[in-house]
Amino acid sequence: MWHVIAHQISQATGRDFTINEKKPLPGGEINQAFALSDGQKNYFVKLNDKARVDMFSSEWTSLDHLQRSQTLVTPKPICCGTTPTSSFLVLEYLSFDEADEQDWYMLGRQLAHLHQSHDQPMYGWDEDNFLGLSVQPNAWHKKWSTFFAEQRIGWQLKLLEEKDIRFGDIEEVIGGIKQHLINHQPRASLLHGDLWRGNVAFCKHMGVIFDPACYFGDRETDIAMTELFGQFPRVFYQGYNAVWPLEEGYAERRDIYNLYHLLNHVNHFGEPYFEQAKDSLYRIIAS
């Protein structure tokens, strides 16, 4: 397996690469991860089952879009593919260090610039991609309320129903979400899509974001998720608002947007997130 990956790195970089050091790293709940080195150059490698290659291909595409925005730092994607037994994604290796308040402030500013970087008339993405292991449908829509209600909340509820986990009538929930968002037609921003504390780090005082699930949508969805699982420092939001202040009504929409991630966590991890997702959904529908 490893000689195939080394060969692909050599092909992608135009430089012969032979692995002489391979170090296991934390890979999260989904992937195995390794640092590879030939003594001069280091790479970060994710591994999964061979059937998961589409997940890595989608991540490659998202990272490439973020890089081309020239607004913030992401690990440069090097190559992805398959071996006889596995799929892999090779990224630039970055060494992370501690951040101070100024670093977080600048990350907030950079995220705002990312959200301003495209003039996209519709919501969606050129292909379906992945949020964790879940397929994330991205068919283009002109109305934000329709896109989010159907392709985010409705989709997750349908995945859960296939597992005999129900949160009420799906069509009624979709209709309720549409009504909450019906008068909100935001600019379609390039989004990270999975922006929690675990997908942010710092390298030489520069904020780095990774593990994206990009699409074009409401910038508030990225901000909302930064408040869901371990809120970012206050100065991050100050930096963001200094560039592009959040609109009135964000606090009400935040729970709707974070419901998507809670439902996805129920799909991934089950019971530990069920009550939190149920309570959130019932509060939204009742409001």
What is the crossing angle of helices 170-181 and 274-286, to 10°? 60
Q: Break the chain down into helix, strand, coil percent, rounded to 5.
A: 45, 20, 35
Three-state SS at 27 = coil
Write out the DSSP string of 113-124.
HHHTS--BSSBB
d(CA 83, CA 187): 41
229 DSSP assignment: S
85 DSSP assignment: S
Instruction: Report yes or no: 222 and 213 within 8 Å, Cβ to Cβ.
Output: no
Active site residues: 194
Instruction: Give residues with Cβ within 8 angstroms of 95, minimum separation 6.
Output: 203
Kindly state the helix (H) or strand (E) to which residue 55 belongs, with its residue range.
helix 53-68
d(CA 23, CA 32): 11
Instruction: Report yes or no: 215 and 125 within 8 Å, Cβ to Cβ.
Output: yes
Instruction: Report yes or no: 265 and 196 within 8 Å, Cβ to Cβ.
Output: no
d(CA 240, CA 109): 5
d(CA 81, CA 150): 32
Three-state SS at 104 = helix
